Chain A
Amino acid sequence: MKSPAHSMKTSRVPLRLLFCLLGASVWSTDATIAAETMTVGESTVAVPENNLVGSDKLLLTGGINNVEGSAGGGLTPWAVIGGYGTRDQIGANVFYTRVNVQDYHLDDYGVTVGLFNRVELSYARQRFDTEDVGAALGLGRGFTLGQDILGIKLRLAGDVVLDQQDWTPQFSVGIQYKKNDQGDVLHAVGATDDAGTDFYLNATKLYLGQSLLLNATLRFTKANQMGLLGFGGDRHDGYQPQFEGSVAYLLNRHIAIGAEYRSKPDNLRIATEDDWYDFFVAWAPNKHVTLTLAYAYLGNIVIADNQRGLYASVQVGF
């Protein structure tokens, strides 16, 4: 491995502190607004309590967690705000995802908080194990690249479930800040940075009459293999637009099937990067658990081509 000719750009974001603040803000708002009364004519009507932390959205309408922690499909974020909280509530969930392809595996876990169906905050930690490829690259068998991802998403307009009267989708805009922990290795493979930020826009539409959901995402990114191989590279170093799309069909109240596609940049000379796609089944027996199984096609990753395999994810909600 050549030693870096110049120092790798690193960012100093106190990730652990941010995560603690995130957790504290969720639990400190576990408050119940007391029953109010209102007067109608001569009668006094007591209004039931309104819980601030709740899960009163309809089943499956918070999406699942994608590999970067944002709510949506498994590979792509959607315009939906994560969690089951309504416009008056805060909802949250945690997830664990495992992807096994022939020559690598990915462990991925995190937390997503939805605030008043308007703002979504997420944190995910990815660990990408290079197994024997690590040995072939001289890094050691099982060499692991790790990445922390902080996400924030804002619903701009529309309501995917309630807007059934016309064609308008729900629109959201989001940011994912990503920090990889293997700066030296990333530079050695040709990446410019070990940290980077993705910006994305989604439009998601649920055609309830057809039991069909469609999503389109436009993402501006420099991330190589979503950041696992750093950001920017010796082939191309600027932001490029990428397109992502999903389709989901509701089989019944508890099960959705679908497919996703995610286009990828190709910034590194050392290896081609392919577009990703998958076919999935998501099962939500209740509002507290969603299980997702998918078959993912990840294409070429570094020196191993045609990577494909099983994706499994569990989401537990409060």
Chain B
Amino acid sequence: MTFHNIPSRRPRFLAAAAIALGTLATPLFADENPAPADATLLPVFKQFGEKPGLIALMEDFMVLLVDDPRTRPFFADADQLHVKQALVDQFCVILGGPCKYEGKGMKEAHEKLVINEAQFNALVEDLQKAMDKHEIPFRAQNKLLEKLAPMQREIINRR
């Protein structure tokens, strides 16, 4: 089985219009905010080692994602540097940190991939492994996962 790099494509006009319409539509049809900031999680942000901690965490996280046969197909040929940077910004914003997330929404970022629940859970397990390695306290880990869990609705697109 070979896995080819999925080429990046600029959204066509129709897709862009659909996205624009989507953001104007009712919440039922709009994409969720990929980086909902929660200022109450600032202590958790500190437990993650703030931005330097998140950068180090994503380094190890990416190594695990490429190493794990369940997630490797999605990351081996991806722009890993870009993904790591986007994740740092996303998690930083979520944990109330002083960052800006300028990446795609979760649905858009994942819609060209085919992801099922097992693969989503595999990524969560790899993230837990990386967080354990960086000695992030269990409760702090769960506070982050609490914010990430609902994103599965936009990421899991395959049964």
Contacts and interface: CB of A to CB of B under 8 A. Distances in A.
A161 interface: yes
A236 interface: no
A35 B153 CA distance: 23
Nearest to B40: A209
Nearest to B70: A48
Given A41-B9, A163-B150, A86 B139 contact: no
Interface string B30-72: 0000000000000000000000000000000000000000100
B4 A56 contact: no
Interface in A206-233: 208-211
Contact of B73 (A48, A54, A161): A48
A50 B122 CA distance: 13
Contacts of B153: 162
Interface string A28-68: 00000001001011111111101100101110000000000
B147 to A, nearest CB: 7
Interface in B114-152: 114, 116-119, 121-122, 124-125, 128, 132, 138-139, 142-143, 145-147, 149-150, 152
Contacts of A250: 138, 142
A316 B112 CA distance: 38
B138 A45 contact: no
Nearest to A87: B117
Interface in A10-37: 35
Contacts of B9: 41
Nearest to B153: A162
A192 to B, nearest CB: 46
B13 interface: no
Interface residues of A, number: 34
Contact of A40 (B112, B125, B158): B112
A164 interface: yes
Interface string A224-265: 000000000000000000000000001111000000000000
A119 to B, nearest CB: 16
B2 interface: yes
B118 A88 contact: yes
A45 B1 CA distance: 10
Contact of B121 (A40, A58, A211, A251): A58
A165 interface: yes
Interface of B is mostly: helix
Contact of A253 (B117, B138, B158): B138
A89 B152 CA distance: 17
A164 B118 contact: no
A56 B3 contact: no
Contacts of A54: 118
B5 interface: yes
Given A58-B124, A164-B149, A165-B150, A87 B114 contact: no
Contacts of B5: 43
A115 to B, nearest CB: 14
B15 interface: no
Contacts of B146: 164, 208-209
Max count, chain B CB within 10 A of own CB: residue among A48, A56, A88, A211: A48
A82 B142 CA distance: 22
B99 to A, nearest CB: 21
A160 to B, nearest CB: 10
B10 to A, nearest CB: 12
Contact of A46 (B3, B70, B117, B150): B3
B69 to A, nearest CB: 8
A45 B6 contact: yes
Interface in A155-173: 161-165
A47 B153 CA distance: 20
Contacts of B116: 50, 86, 88
B118 A162 contact: no
9 nearest A-B pairs in the assembled complex, by CB-CB distance: A56-B118, A165-B150, A208-B146, A86-B117, A164-B149, A209-B146, A164-B146, A43-B4, A208-B142
Interface of B: 1-7, 9, 70, 73, 112, 114, 116-119, 121-122, 124-125, 128, 132, 138-139, 142-143, 145-147, 149-150, 152-153, 158-159
Given A40-B112, A44-B4, A45-B114, 17 more contacts: A38-B114, A41-B7, A42-B7, A45-B6, A48-B70, A48-B73, A48-B119, A50-B116, A56-B121, A56-B122, A86-B118, A86-B121, A165-B150, A209-B146, A250-B138, A251-B138, A253-B132
